[in-house]
Amino acid sequence: MTSQDFKSVRFRLGRTQKGIAQLLGVSIKAIHSYEQGWRKIPGHVERQVYFLLSRIMNSPADATPCWDFMQCPKDRMNQCPAYEFHSGDMCWFVNGTQCRGKNFGSWEEKMETCRNCDVFKALLETLQENHPQ
């Protein structure tokens, strides 16, 4: 997540820097640093920001779950937490998913794959449509 992405999400959530700091459980100085690009946005903060954004956006009821979109074989689906917890629109949020048959060791590693996935890109496209830079 870039500093501009972070700032755009903050605006989309309708929060001041102080308000988003309280919501995320970080200091206002950290928020300043994220938005100025002085400090890398930690994975746990990025994850929480995308989660909050996803909750205020209207996801179509007929959205294709990730396992259908990715045409996952049944054995992979049965081992995937996104399938187990019926979170096919939020697979990017769930640790331990079986994206492309691979488990990821960290949030950062997982997001490298997710940023190139159409399921996650739909979330980012909605952000761009609603709050262009």
- Residue 126 phi, psi (nearest 5): -65, -40
Q: Could you list the pLDDT tens digit for every one of the 133 residues in the chain?
A: 899 989 998 998 899 999 999 999 999 999 999 999 999 999 889 989 988 887 777 655 556 788 888 888 898 888 888 888 888 888 888 888 877 767 777 778 888 888 888 878 877 776 666 544 4
DSSP secondary structure string for all residues of 54-116: HHHS---TTPPPHHHHTT--HHHHHT-HHHHTT-TT-TTTSTT--GGG---SSHHHHHHHHTT
